[in-house]
Each structure stands twice: as structure tokens, then as C-alpha cells.
Chain A
Amino acid sequence: MPKPIISLKNINKSYLSGEIEFQALKEISLEISEGDFVAIVGPSGSGKSTLMNIIGCLDRFDSGELRLDGKNVADMDDDELALWRGQKIGFVFQSFNLLNKFTVLENTTLPSLYVKIENPENKARKVLDQVGLGDKLKNTPLQLSGGQRQRVAIARALMADPVIILADEPTGNLDSKTGKTIMKLFQKLNNEGKTIIVITHDPAVAKFAKKVIKLVDGKVHNENAD
């Protein structure tokens, strides 16, 4: 059994929406092991985005325990949390979130502003090769197709050698064919040893994962290995 790289125990999270308190996550407990490829699925409002924010250390939770790479993140302050997610998590977003004024290479090296990375340019070339964009270094995102942009974002996520890649609807802005190639890229990265978590509402996307976690109304519905 590989060691759990993420473990959540009884995580609760609620939001105040106006006067009404909305319980987004209820007593969530789950473990994700190193080398896993997990899809978190569920209808909108099921709490999957909240879960992803909490796993990604972007948001805080009300109660429970979250261990990330062995460390309890509950008692970290904002700066420690920022550094921790910079080192441990590679984010991939639905809308790519690239800086359009910067080149592909500059976008990819961006994390090196905040996290210590040895020789960031070389590293960036390496990860861009890995995602198949080794020849687009000097282009800007606006000169690229959607699929290529998402590859840049994935390369950026790989920069700091994170323990997990957290992808929030990574294919949501792509056509199904391009979406498939992106998912295949994730599969390839997973085969090379990366732990990958994909949040999606699309069952076709979830099929690429080794494991699917379904959320309904803020609770884990069932947990099936494929």
C-alpha cells in the first residue's frame, strides 16, 4: 500500500450565503495515495470545488484534519500555506490562467518567482518538452490553441515538482477531442509517477482516472476503484 499523500478526516466547511448558512462539505474523509489518479465528480453544488480549494490549500475549513504530504496544514499561516501550495501542488485551471503578455517560457517559469527552483529556464524547457511544446517557447498564449494553452498551464504546474497536480475542470474550455489529448497527457504524467486529482462533472473525463470519488450534497457518495 503506497503512503497516503493527502488525507482528509471529518472535514466540514460551511459558507454564509446571506443569512443562511450553507454546509458545503459534511464530514468528508478520504485518502489519496502517491501515484493515484483520482477524479472527483459530482453535480454543481455538490461541493467538489470547495473540496478542491481545501485540498489545494486555497481555502480554509471549519473543522477536521487535512494532511498534505504528511503535514497538518490547519495550523499554517497564510504565508506558510502559500509556500506549501507553491511547492507541493501544481494547479491546472479550466480557463488556463496564463498571462497573455508573457511568452510561453515566461509563463512556465512564473512559479520560480515564489518558489525556489534551481535553474528555472532549463527546468521550464524540460517540462515544456514533456508536454510537447518545446518549439513554442517564444510564442504568447494568444498565438496558441486552447489545447496548447492548457499544456502550457500543465507545464507551469510541473515546474516546482509538486507532489500532486490539481486540475479543476481542465477540459471544460476545450472541445472533446482536445480534451481527450489533455487527459491522455495527465495519464502519461501519472504513469511517470505524478499524483493527479481532476475535478470534473464530465463522466467521459472521469473515465481516465484510476479512481472516482463522487460527491453529492457535500458528502462522499461512494468510492469505486475502476
Chain B
Amino acid sequence: MLIKLFRSSLKNILTNKLRSVLTVLGMVIGIASVTIMVSVGESAKKWIEDSLNSTLGTNVMFLIPGSEEDSNSFDPTSFFAMLEEDDYEIFENETIEGITAHSRRNVDTQEITYRSKSENVLTFIHDIGYAEVFDVDFTSGRNFTEKDAQTRKKYIIIDTVIEDKFFPLQEPVGKEIEVEGKTFEIIGVVDDPNQDPGGSGDATASIFMLMDTYSQVFNQPIEYDVISFRIQNFDEKDEIEAEIIRKLKDKRGLAPQDEADFNIQSQEDFLETSSEITDMITTFLTVIASISLIVAGIGVMNIMLVSVNERIKEIGLRKAIGAKNRDILVQFMMESIIYSIIGGVTGLILGSIIAIILEKLAKLPELISITAVVSSLSVSVLIGTVFGVYPAQRAAKLSPIEALRAE
């Protein structure tokens, strides 16, 4: 009985092709957008987690300017805040138990030139400990040494992106390259270190130089917005954090009970913040996409009402040959649910394809959210049911003689 009804409903939908396509289109768009939003959102989140885990490890921590509250409030001014010039002294001149490496960091954009070929690159300005903190992988050459720092030798390290562009056939180590018109010698090549947490994920053309060298060669003040450091044991994280805070407060002349105007973040904190942001954006976009589902539902309801009106005589006939009110109700509910499921499944497939393409373009992990799949399908059935009930009830309640008499 149900199978027969299903076939008869499907037939009705298939014979009204244009109308069915238009009705279903709303559902397709709605479900597709929800699928895309949720999938891309989840993919972005996974990418952030993966890249933070893989590039930083668990033992990297950051000392950054601004109170803890500031860094959680997304205040744009905290983006440009710098640490104080002598903050680094507590790392440089004193030993903090459990810290294995540390480095200041600042970023600049500079133009490099090699044999009439030029390119703008990111310059990472840091200290010798940088490579160790971020576990940088040298493909050739060497890291900076203590001596390089003292002599302010114009040495730089480049990444593999620059190597591929400027030295496709030769060994870059030992070559001289111009940075903003100053000649530097390349001493090492590192594999895309991706050291910028929450960055674009694309391999950026980057060069690396020591802070003192940079300051002297380009006549710039010593400035930096973060001190990164690696700790030996993750278990000691809290004690080390407390010791740094105590020392820095002391140095800055703050009483122990005063609120610190700097704070220490670990990779965990970054993860949390980034996840919060992506969750927020995903939720926001999903809510917007869901509105289209309501619109789609109204479309289904509208077409069902039209369909009931057109088929009043048919309903009368069906009742005359023995259909109970429930049979008519089921028939029309089935139609609206079929509309919704067809729309839901098509939307899901379309949304998944678009999500994969977007993820591919954005170099995110290619994934389809299981949540999206399950919720799309259940939401489409729900919409078919909710928006189908009223038209179906109208059909079921028609009196057979009135219905038969209708023109």
C-alpha cells in the first residue's frame, strides 16, 4: 500500500518536471549552503588544529604584549603592540630552569634581488634560538651562530620557496643576494617552516635574519612583538609561566598582585582561540544558510497547496473509490517529503562537491562533515513533514461531494 502510494506520488512529481525542479531547487540551494558552511568550517578548524600541532609541537610558548584579557578580546590595537626592548633580558641574561631555547621575533616585508630577478618576501627577524624553538628543518647549509650575531655578518637563511624560484638549478648556499639593496650571503635553506601560527598555510617566500644584524644593516630600532620559547617538559608549563610573569613584573616595576600588561600563550591557547573563532563564524554562516531552508520549506508548502487545489477532483474521486482521510493525508505528505528528500540529497551532493572544491582551493583538508550529512538529510525530511502537513490536511479534510463537484 505504502509502496504503491509512493510510486503514485513519485509519478506525480516526475510528470510536473519544471515545477518539481523549481520547487526542489530551493531545497537544493538551502541544503547545499548548509553543507558547504558546516564542511568548510569543520575543515578549517581541523586545519588549524593540525597545523598548530605539527608546526609547534606542544612545548612552544609565546610571550606577547597586552593583558590576557586584551589578547582574548580581538582588540585590533593589540595586533600592533610591541614588547619592551629590554624584556628579552630575562631570557638572555638569566637562566630560567626548563627553557631549552628562546628567540625574539619581528616580521618585515622586504624586496630581494638576485640577478635582476626581484620579489617581495617576508623577513623573519629573530635570534639564534629560533631554529630550535620551532624545530626548523635545514635542507642545506647551517643555522646562525653566536659569532654571526656578534660580528653582525650579513648572513641570511632562505626558505625552499625562494630556493625554487631563484636557484632552481644551483646550490643557493654561499650565493650573495640583495635585500633592499644590501648584499647578504645565504648560509642556509630551511623547509617551509610555517612558523606563523594561524597564518595562511600557503608556503610564503620568507627569509630569516638575526635581529641585531637587521637592526644595524637597515638602521632600525630593536622591536619585536613576541618572544617564543621552548620548554623541556610540558608538565612544568605552569611553573615556568609563573616564573616568567614574576620576573617580568619585577622588571617592569609591577607589584606581584598587579595585573600583568603582557601574557603568555601556549599552543593550547591558540588552538582554543582559533577554534572559538572558527566555530563562531561557522555557526553564524550556518544560521544564515538555514534561513534559506525555511524559504525552501515555504516553497514546498506553496507548491503543495497549488497541487492540492489542482487535484481537488482527484481527491474526490479517490475518496469515492474508498480512500480514507488518512490515505489522502499520507499521499500528500509523501509527495512533500519526496520533494524535500530529492532536494536534500541533491543539495547534499552538490554542497559536498562545492565544499571539496573550496577546500582544495583553500588548501584545507578535504573533508565532508558527517554532522552536515546527517543534519541535512534529517532537516530535509523535517521540512517536508512540517511544511507538508498543512496542505495535506487540507486535502484530507475535503468533503468528497464538494471535491467531486469542483471544476
Residues of A bordering B, CB below 8 Å: 53, 56, 58-59, 78-79, 82-83, 85-87, 91, 93, 95, 97, 99, 101-102, 110-115, 156, 160
Contacts and interface: CB of A to CB of B under 8 A. Distances in A.
A36 B388 CA distance: 45
B322 A114 contact: yes
B56 to A, nearest CB: 64
21 contacts: A53-B401, A58-B404, A78-B324, A78-B325, A79-B325, A86-B322, A91-B317, A91-B321, A93-B404, A95-B313, A97-B313, A97-B320, A97-B404, A99-B317, A101-B12, A102-B11, A111-B322, A113-B4, A113-B8, A113-B318, A115-B322
B324 A113 contact: no
B52 to A, nearest CB: 59
B322 A85 contact: yes
B176 interface: no
Contact of A79 (B15, B324, B400, B401): B324
Interface magnitude class on chain B: 20 to 34
Most buried by B among A82, A85, A87, A111: A82
Given A58-B401, A87-B322, A156-B321, A114 B327 contact: yes
Contact of B321 (A59, A78, A79, A111): A111
B252 interface: no
Most buried by B among A91, A101, A113, A160: A113
A58 B8 contact: no
Contacts of A95: 313
Nearest to A114: B322
A101 B1 CA distance: 20
A106 to B, nearest CB: 8
Given A82-B323, A86-B321, A99-B314, 14 more contacts: A53-B401, A56-B320, A58-B401, A59-B400, A78-B324, A86-B322, A87-B322, A91-B321, A93-B404, A97-B316, A113-B1, A114-B322, A114-B323, A160-B321
Given A97-B317, A113-B8, A83 B324 contact: yes
Contact of A58 (B323, B324, B325, B400): B400
A79 B313 contact: no
A110 B325 contact: no
B319 interface: yes
B220 to A, nearest CB: 80
Interface of B: 1, 4-5, 8, 11-12, 15, 313-314, 316-327, 399-401, 404
Nearest to A157: B321
A14 to B, nearest CB: 15
B295 to A, nearest CB: 29
B394 to A, nearest CB: 16
B324 A59 contact: no
A168 B400 CA distance: 14
A215 B371 CA distance: 68
A156 B314 CA distance: 14
Contacts of B399: 59
A110 B318 contact: yes
Contacts of A112: 4
B3 to A, nearest CB: 10
A82 B319 contact: yes
A99 B5 CA distance: 14
A57 to B, nearest CB: 9
A79 B399 CA distance: 12
A101 B323 contact: no
A78 to B, nearest CB: 6
A91 B323 CA distance: 13
A162 B2 CA distance: 24
Contacts of B314: 97, 99
Given A97-B317, A99-B314, A113-B4, A82 B322 contact: yes
Nearest to A83: B322
Given A97-B317, A101-B12, A102-B11, A59 B323 contact: no
A75 B322 CA distance: 17
Contacts of A87: 322
Contacts of A79: 324-326
Contacts of B318: 110, 113-114
Most buried by B among A59, A79, A99, A112: A99
A153 to B, nearest CB: 9
Contacts of A99: 314, 317
B329 to A, nearest CB: 12
B15 A115 contact: no
Please give me the 3 A-B residue pairs with the lowest Cβ-Cβ distance, nearest first.
A86-B322, A114-B322, A97-B317
Contacts of B317: 91, 93, 97, 99
Contacts of A111: 321-322
A113 B401 contact: no
Contacts of B1: 113
A93 to B, nearest CB: 7
A82 B326 CA distance: 11
